[in-house]
Amino acid sequence: MVYQVKIPSNIYGGEGCIEKVKEIVEKEHAKKILIFTDKGIIATGLIQLLLNEIEKTGAEYCIFDNLIPEPAYQDVENLMNEAAHHDGSLIIAIGGGSVMDAAKLCSVLKGADYNIKDLLKNPGLAKKKIKTVMIPTTCGTGSEATCNAIVAIPEERSKQGIVNDSMIPDYVVLDSQMIRKLPRQIVAATGVDALAHAVECYTSRKATPISNTYALASAKLIFHNIREAYIDPDNMEAKSNMMLGAFYGGIAITASGTTAVHALSYPLGGKYHIAHGVSNAILFAHVMEFNKDACKRQLAEICDAIHPVMAEAGEDEKAQYIIDEIADIVKTTEIPVSLEQFGVSAKDLDFLVDAGSRQTRLLVNNRKELSLDDIRNIYLKVLP
Ligand SMILES: NC(=O)c1ccc[n+]([C@@H]2O[C@H](COP(=O)([O-])OP(=O)(O)OC[C@H]3O[C@@H](n4cnc5c(N)ncnc54)[C@H](O)[C@@H]3O)[C@@H](O)[C@H]2O)c1
Ligand SMILES: [Zn+2]
């Protein structure tokens, strides 16, 4: 098997590592910086930690915060139009996956002779125009590690990933201070998203020795820390581990790819605007239960890594342990387990089955093929 992975070339970690931004700006000789964020981050005051470092360099900066969570491609286009009037030789994104994805898209769109609609049709067109620095403020998407950017497509009431090597971030700053005060429900949703990346990538048909290494490291960090990070917001060790686990999960995505959990989750985000981590969490254990017979060995290997006391147990028992752990984590972190509270009901089933089955980019990675009936049965389990 021939395999490859593209990873960011400069990675800083540890509480307080945002101070490295000064070094990055100086190394890049950046005199004008484009900062991407959103109003939620501005309200936390976190941006000041970034501005303090930039101000030490004397560089000018411009802040773009006009972005909603889980943006549609038109929202990114509007942001891009705003940024088009400003010069800059470095992009810094400080935010969750929504901000980082939008910033990555802007890094290939600024000054380009193609637009975002062209990229949706042909992601191969993308060429990096400006280097990027990613400062994640959630502990989930791993977008800081990936070449992917995900946007909603309102016309199709779904979401689509734009994937191109040139969107790989140049610098990543994993500072756990960013998630110190992250609201608990976002710790939960983004943390389970990261766990889904790890487990889906490890069980993916496209898994490689490299993706397996990162997926397993990610699974260990997240299984062992997500409950603590949720229950005790001041547990900074757990939070640092979550940040690293999410980053490793991102590398695993680039190296292999997520599977049916993410595929079936896209229409839930695209049409009903359910947060990405929440829609994944609702489907996660059910999809793994469906996959169990085809992914038994992989799930058992995850069990060996996170729960070695079960070494003597059979594959079946180990695989079930992982599925039960996933369900328990979703329950402990108080994420809804049904679509009821989002107003989704049986009348939406046909739409969901049709839109879910169109996510072939990810469904092909699933070790067990899903028929339309299989997809219907999975959605039925989470409908009221
Ligand atoms: N590129 C990839 O590889 C990849 C992978 C998975 C998901 N995604 C995408 O990422 C997006 C979801 O990103 P997300 O889950 O990180 O959330 P998000 O970026 O949508 O943010 C959710 C909310 O949390 C707030 N927030 C973020 N950090 C905060 C902090 N430290 N304190 C207080 N509030 C904070 C934001 O202001 C926002 O209101 C989706 O569009 C999803 O499709 C991308
Ligand atoms: Zn995800």
Tell me the ligand closest to 280's alpha carbon.
Answer: 2
Distance CA 95, CA 72 (A): 17
pLDDT at 157: 87
Domain ranges of the chain: 10-179, 184-382
The CATH class for the domain spanning 10-179 reads alpha beta
Q: Please list the ranges in the chain whose pLDDT falls under 70.
A: none
CA of 134 to the centre of ligand 1 (A): 13
Which atom of ligand 1 lies at the shortest distance from residue 151's CA? 41
Ion ligand 2: residues, CB < 5 A:
193
- Concatenating the DSSP letter of every residue in 308-367 gives GGGTTS-HHHHHHHHHHHHHHHHHHTT--SSSGGGT--GGGHHHHHHHHHT-HHHHTTSS
Pocket, ligand 1, Cβ cutoff 6 A: 38, 40-41, 44, 46, 69-70, 95-99, 101, 137-138, 140-143, 146, 148-150, 159, 178-179, 181-183, 186, 190, 250, 253, 276-277
Which atom of ligand 1 lies at the shortest distance from residue 104's CA? 1
Q: For residues 195 and 34, is the Cβ–Cβ distance under 8 A? A: no
Mutate to test the pocket of ligand 1, among 119, 132, 150, 172 (most ligand atoms within 8 A of CB): 150
CA-nearest residue, atom 25 of ligand 1: 40
Tell me the ligand closest to 136's alpha carbon.
Answer: 1
Distance CA 359, CA 296 (A): 24
Mutate to test the pocket of ligand 1, among 37, 184, 186, 199 (most ligand atoms within 8 A of CB): 186
What contacts 306, CB < 8 A, 6 or more positions away?
219, 220, 223, 224, 322, 325
CA-nearest residue, atom 15 of ligand 1: 190
Q: How many helices (H) and strands (E) does the chain have?
A: 15, 8
Distance CA 183, CA 316 (A): 37
CA of 333 to the centre of ligand 2 (A): 17
CA of 213 to the centre of ligand 2 (A): 19
Beta strands in 156-282 (DSSP E): 158-163, 171-174
Tell me the ligand closest to 252's alpha carbon.
Answer: 1
CA of 229 to the centre of ligand 2 (A): 19
- The total number of residues shown for the chain amounts to 384
Which amino acid would we find at residue 128?
K
Which atom of ligand 1 lies at the shortest distance from residue 101's CA? 1
CA of 60 to the centre of ligand 2 (A): 34
pTM of this prediction? Answer: 0.97
Which atom of ligand 1 lies at the shortest distance from residue 253's CA? 3
CA of 334 to the centre of ligand 1 (A): 18
In this structure, which CATH number among 1.10.10.10, 3.40.50.9100, 3.40.30.10, 1.20.1090.10 belongs to the domain 184-382? 1.20.1090.10
Tell me the ligand closest to 190's alpha carbon.
Answer: 1
pLDDT at 207: 98
CA of 154 to the centre of ligand 2 (A): 19
The per-residue pLDDT for range 227-262, each reduced to its tens digit, is 999 999 999 999 999 999 999 999 999 999 999 999
Which atom of ligand 1 lies at the shortest distance from residue 99's CA? 19
Distance CA 163, CA 150 (A): 9
> Which residue pairs, CB below 8 angstroms and at least 24 apart, start in 1-6?
1/208, 3/208, 3/209, 3/210, 3/211, 3/255, 4/255, 5/208, 5/210, 5/211, 5/251, 5/254, 5/255, 6/147, 6/165, 6/168, 6/254
Tell me the ligand closest to 40's alpha carbon.
Answer: 1
Distance CA 283, CA 262 (A): 9
Mutate to test the pocket of ligand 1, among 39, 68, 98 (most ligand atoms within 8 A of CB): 98
pLDDT at 165: 96
Which atom of ligand 1 lies at the shortest distance from residue 181's CA? 32
Q: For residues 70 and 98, is the Cβ–Cβ distance under 8 A? A: yes
